[in-house]
Chain A
């Protein structure tokens, strides 16, 4: 017994010595030569073409700043869960993507570096579209610089419109509902509908502007859910009634598809309300599809849409902050942003780049750009994920006809607020 114990101690010491030895061996050459500083950039995965473009931009950056190396880390799934865990474990990347919806939470947690001290006049902050910058401000401080954005617009299938004798996209929600009925057709007369008017996603991220159309609100000033009001329900009822009563809209899972974009591309629905990301997807996956875009039809005579954006933020724990800022300022600077947005994967957040690329004259992108003036940013306080989960669950059950909208929304609101209170 005693001998075994001694053996064990001996082994432990041996392992420790070995580790220390290797450590020095690895570190020694590093301290001799001036190694370039390595900056870790974290983000989620995207299409291969988009990934290649980003790699290209990063290579250009490294060519311009040879003493900085960028290590691009892709988080494949559950991005925010992974980022939060790494922030807690002090293993988060130096610079990373932050979605507009998660910004209020992370900004309030004191884990991000405020960017105001780094800003220079040449960087020209005023060039950014104001609603985008405001989404990343918390207590008078700027925490993120938006890399690109999109609003929602109505995309319609031109062939389906021509077949139904429609010449122009709907301008009001009433028109949209009428058109949708005309576009819901059983082409081969087999009793199953082959084409629906609209493809819809009962997801809070795409519905907040409906809540606000009649004067409702998503969350109150304290961040508690407040959408179970008559005004908010009136807007949401439009979505539910179209699906349940008119039967002129469909959910992706109804038609065996994974997204509204796919439904639209495969010609199973004639209209969808979606963002800029759909354009490259459709061009690549369904090159024969003829489609047009228009601003989201007005509800209650008010224009409305959603605003989505992603910013680069700096980790407060970043070791080389000056270099990290170099990277952010290059990626969101005029030169870097123009490279990043020139192929049309995303819309530039700088007015000057937007003008230089001429997207406002592109008939598919003009409605998306016009939307920024009246769009509802996809934000709702730091508890948005709780609010959204409860909302989505209950809205889906209403869409499936399990309960009336009012009951569902009251339940969603109460359950969300109980959860928020418990977390505080």
Chain B
């Protein structure tokens, strides 16, 4: 017990308290570290900061689009795989490849695809669809990151769904079929309700992961959150506050805001999806 408490305390619990301490301080970092009590000033600054507003809006938009899309996509992929298509293992490997690839590498590859002369625009032009300046146009830059992330994380949740699908007893489907339920009715009345706890897990992990979007938008914009703050996310703002502006206290305050948002959204989800009872 003692070693694990020590390790956990040093690397997980103590940093939380240190961050709490920092969020009430103004820290002078360069040329000798000095702490100065700042009261609620760092938190008051949260209200005034218009870049935080932009970051919140971007992140919220990102979560609102990515989480439902990747959850539904994961479910569709899992159900089709579970239905026993030919070459199941190959499909599984193909689907799962993007998830095991490093996100930094994925982002770089996608930046080539998104180039104005790149693959995606050629593809769109081929079908007569409008092409975009994916990296330079603030209106679509975040959409580009969304597309990439849905593609790379959906398969991970697919695997979780797949495992859950295999746990659903066959007898339930047989009974339903005897009662005259067709495939759709079986899916909506048996599969979906029984997957509810898994869906809660998938959505909760999805929300937490997407709220913490950092590396993709960092690489995409070279750390600036551009073009015109279009890819500025909360975690990127925290990074900028610490490493660019050296405002440790303010960064800790933003981090607590982010934690509060994630915790409250997870609690709300539990109200809707969390109960394990079903009729």
Contact = CB atoms under 8 A, between A and B. Distances in A.
Interface of A: 1, 4-5, 8, 78, 80-81, 84-85, 87-88, 106, 109-111, 251, 253-256, 316, 385-386, 389, 392-394, 396-397, 400, 402, 415, 418-419, 422-423
A418 B1 contact: no
Nearest to B133: A253
B138 interface: yes
Contact of A423 (B50, B224, B226, B245): B245
Contacts of A394: 228
Given A254-B136, A256-B115, A393 B30 contact: no
A253 B116 contact: yes
B138 A423 contact: no
Contacts of B227: 253, 393, 396
A397 B230 CA distance: 10
B244 interface: yes
Nearest to B248: A88
B29 A88 contact: yes
B33 A4 contact: no
A194 to B, nearest CB: 13
B137 interface: yes
Nearest to A105: B30
Given A85-B243, A256-B118, A402-B138, 16 more contacts: A78-B243, A80-B244, A84-B29, A88-B33, A110-B30, A110-B31, A253-B116, A256-B115, A316-B31, A393-B226, A393-B229, A396-B227, A402-B228, A418-B48, A418-B50, A423-B245
Contact of B2 (A5, A251, A397): A5
B246 interface: yes
Contact of A415 (B51, B116, B245, B250): B51
Given A110-B31, A400-B137, A8 B228 contact: no
B138 A254 contact: no
B246 A84 contact: yes
Interface in B1-20: 1-3
B174 interface: no
A408 to B, nearest CB: 10
B45 A422 contact: yes
B223 interface: yes
B116 A84 contact: no
A287 B90 CA distance: 47
Interface string B76-101: 00000000000000000000000000
A421 to B, nearest CB: 10
Given A5-B2, A84-B243, A111-B30, A253 B136 contact: yes
Interface residues of B, number: 34
Given A4-B1, A256-B116, A111 B49 contact: no
Given A88-B29, A415-B50, A254 B133 contact: yes
B117 interface: yes
B135 interface: yes
A415 B1 CA distance: 51
11 contacts: A8-B2, A78-B223, A84-B29, A110-B30, A385-B244, A397-B228, A402-B228, A415-B50, A415-B51, A419-B49, A422-B250
A253 B29 contact: no
A251 B136 contact: yes
Contacts of B246: 84, 88
Contacts of B136: 251, 253-254
Interface in B85-131: 115-118
Listed from nearest, the 7 A-B pairs whose CB atoms lie closest are A253-B136, A256-B117, A256-B116, A110-B31, A109-B30, A81-B243, A397-B228
Nearest to B27: A88
Contacts of A386: 245
B244 A393 contact: no
Interface in B147-179: none
A392 to B, nearest CB: 7
B46 to A, nearest CB: 10
B224 to A, nearest CB: 7
Contact of B3 (A8, A255, A385): A8
Contacts of A81: 223, 243-244
Given A4-B1, A88-B33, A253-B116, A422 B135 contact: no
A393 B228 contact: yes
A386 B118 CA distance: 33
B247 interface: yes
